[in-house]
Amino acid sequence: MNEKTVFIGTSAQAAAVRDQVRRIARYEEPVLIVGETGVGKSLAAAMVHECSGRAAREFHYVNCAALAESTLMSELFGHSRGAFTGAHANRRGLIAHANGSTIVLDEVTETSATFQASLLHTVDNGEVRPVGADTAFRVDVRFVATTNCDPAAAAANGTFRFDLLQRLSAFVVSIPPLRERTADTRLLAEHFLDEIAVLYGAPTNLSVGAQNSICRLPLRGNARELRHLLLQAHASCAGDALCRKHVEAACASRLSPDGVGSEADLVPYAEHVRGHLALAIDVSGGNLTKAARLLKLPRSTLRHYLTKYGVVNRATGRAARA
C-alpha cells in the first residue's frame, strides 16, 4: 500500500468511506463512486488506486462530462489513421496508456449511448478497439467510475445502460454530502484555510463564530464550495483570524438576484440565500442599515431580498427593522 491521498474527516461517515475504500482496493473489479458534486469522489478514486496492487503505476483520469462524444471516444479508445477528418496518424488512447494501472471515469453517467456501448465491450472483454480500427487488443485496466446523479434512476429512465451499470458497480462507494457531516465541515474549513494561508499569508485561524456560521450553510457544492467561500472570506480579512463577519461578507458576494437558474433549483437556492441573509440580520441585531453594510449590499437590495425570502429576526421572531 502506497496511500498518499486521504479522504479528510473525523465523522463516522468519513471513517466508513476510508475503511470501505481500503477494503475493496485489493480487488481487481470496477468501483462506482456516487455522491454530490464536490464531496470528494476524485479523492476516494485516488485512494482506491493508491491502496491497490497497481499503486506503483500512474493512474489516469478523464472528465467524461467535459468532452464531446467524438473527442471522448478518441481520448479513451484511441483512433486509427484516417478514422475521421484530422486523424493523420494512429493514436493510443488513455485506456491503452493505463494498461496495468487504474483509469478514473469521472461523471460516467453523462456519456452518450455510443460511448457506453464501447465502454461496455471493453469492461466485459478486457479489450480496446480504437475508433476506425478493424482489430482490438487486450488491456489490463481497473475501472473506477464516478457520478453525481442516482445511477439506478439514470438506468431506469434510459439515459444510462443498465448492463453497463451492473458491470461498473461490482463495488459501490456512496459519499454523504458535507451538510450531513458537520464535524468534517469544521476540519475541512481549517484544512483549506491552512492551504490558503500558505499561498497567500494570514489569516491562519478561524474564529468560533466563523466556524459556526460555516457549519450552518447548506454548501450545495460541498468541499469545493467551502474552499471558494474561504478564499473570498480570506480576501476580505486583514487580520490574523478570519471571523464571522468575513464569512458573511463572502456569502453575500456569492449572491445574485438572477441566481435561480430553474424552477427545480428554486427551493434549495432559496434555503441557501435565506440562511446567509438570516445570519447577517442576527449579527446586526436586526438593523437593516448595519446588515446591508455587512453584506456590502445597497439597503434597497437587502430589503428586496428580505421580502422575497421571508427573512425575520430570529431573536424576536419579527421582520427585520430599519
Tell me, rounded to whole angstroms, the distance of Cα 67 from its chain centroid. 18
**Omega of the bond leading into 298 within 30 degrees of 0 (cis):** no
**φ, ψ at 319 (rounded to 5°):** -60, 150
Domains of the chain: 12-176 (3.40.50.300), 180-253 (1.10.8.60), 255-322 (1.10.10)
How far apart CA 216 and CA 8 sit, in angstroms, is 19
Q: Is the distance from CB of 102 to CB of 54 less than 8 angstroms?
A: yes
**Which residues, other chains included, contact 226 with Cβ-Cβ below 8 Å and sequence gap of 6+?**
178, 185, 188, 189, 192, 214, 219
Q: Which of 110-119, 190-199, 251-260, 292-301 has the lowest mean pLDDT?
A: 251-260
Cα-Cα-Cα-Cα dihedral sign, residues 163, 167, 173, 179: negative
User: What confidence tens digit (pLDDT) does each residue in 248-292 have?
Assistant: 888 876 644 333 333 333 344 455 566 667 777 777 778 888 877
Question: What's the predicted TM-score (pTM) here?
Answer: 0.74
Q: Which residue has the higher pLDDT, 24 or 291?
A: 24
| DSSP 8-state code for residue 303 | H
Question: Which stretch of DSSP H or E encloses residue 145?
Answer: strand 142-147
**Averaged over 135-152, what is the pLDDT?**
92
Q: Rounded to the nearest 10 degrees, what angle do helices 208-215 and 222-235 cross at?
A: 140
How far apart CA 59 and CA 42 sit, in angstroms, is 12
Residue 243 clears pLDDT 80, i.e. is over it: yes
pLDDT in the model for residue 120: 95
How far apart CA 69 and CA 107 sit, in angstroms, is 13
pLDDT in the model for residue 131: 78
Residue 214 clears pLDDT 70, i.e. is over it: yes
Largest CA distance in the chain: 75
Q: Which residue has the higher pLDDT, 83 or 243?
A: 243
Tell me, rounded to whole angstroms, the distance of Cα 286 from its chain centroid. 35
User: What confidence tens digit (pLDDT) does each residue in 153-163 have?
Assistant: 999 999 999 99
Tell me, rounded to whole angstroms, the distance of Cα 61 from its chain centroid. 15
**Which residues, other chains included, contact 182 with Cβ-Cβ below 8 Å and sequence gap of 6+?**
11, 215
DSSP letter for each residue of 24-76: HTTS-S-EEEE--TTSSHHHHHHHHHHTSTTTTSPPEEEEGGGS-HHHHHHHH
Cα-Cα-Cα-Cα dihedral sign, residues 59, 64, 68, 74: positive
